[in-house]
Amino acid sequence: MDYTLNIRGRLMSLSEPCVMGILNVTPDSFYAASRAETEDVIVRRTHEIVEQGAAIIDVGACSTRPGSEPATEQEETERLRLAMKAIRQTMPEAIVSIDTFRPLVARIAVEELGADIINDVNPSTEMFRTVARLGVPYIVMSRAANMRTMLTELARDVQQLRDYGQKDIIIDPGFGFGKTLEENYEVMRDLRQLELLELPVLVGVSRKRMVWQLLDIQPEEALNGTTVLNMMALERGAKILRVHDVREAVECVQMFDKLKVVNR
């Protein structure tokens, strides 16, 4: 299906899958190499993400890794101010997503800092109302442990968002959230069923526990497993890959697109 997103009046096509590059402005993200806490490092990472072919930069200022102590709302906002200033000065036309579960942070990010998309790992009615008023694309994540429950809950969330007037919705099956190792792989196996919702799907498995725990390795060694799962996700209909390693994910998308051409 040929999905499009309205990015501040510009239409972004998702007829072909694209890559979202992660930029963490936190001191405690689970993958240490992804952390960018100073302006110089943020600028360098921004260039890297864009030059390696990502369509979207996803900025996180509050770690959601298991066992972490969330940053305060003020800390998260201050980190985002630093990051967005550096990004907009460096790549003013870049499409920027903000990874936050706080409605106030979402509002500040869009209205004051120029963010384009809100990526939410903990959906709430208050956030639904906020993004609908802001008029930006919204990524709604599921913590459900199986596809049957996920479809039911996401259908309810999507209807509520539509009732508030939200236009562009992206769904995220929430790999690594509320799921055991086995349940993560069951959701990946059944991922194609999310097409029933007729919305673009974002998959984020980059260097997550479902890779390194299964293979008995560390997150730093999990790129190969991540790439395997990314290809599986593309084959099951994913439209956006959220990753730490942009170049490798872009190459994965290119090879997937080539296979589609060959199979026609």
Is residue 242 part of the annotated active site? The answer reads: yes
> Is 39 exposed, middle or buried (CB count within 10 Å of its CB: 0-12, 13-18, 19+)?
middle
Q: Pick the closest to residue 141 from 115, 163, 169 (CA basis).
A: 169
Catalytic residue among 242, 247, 258, 260: 242
| Strands laid side by side in the 138-141 sheet | 169-172, 138-141, 117-120, 95-99, 56-60, 18-24, 240-243, 202-203
- Residue 193 CB neighbour total at 10 angstroms: 16
Catalytic residue among 179, 207, 208, 239: 208
Q: How far is CA 48 from the centre of its chain?
A: 17
Helix (H, G, I), strand (E, B) or coil at 120: strand
DSSP summary character for residue 135: T
Is residue 208 part of the annotated active site? The answer reads: yes
Spatial distance between the Cα atoms of 81 and 97, rounded to a whole number of angstroms: 14
Point out the residues that are catalytic. Answer: 208, 242
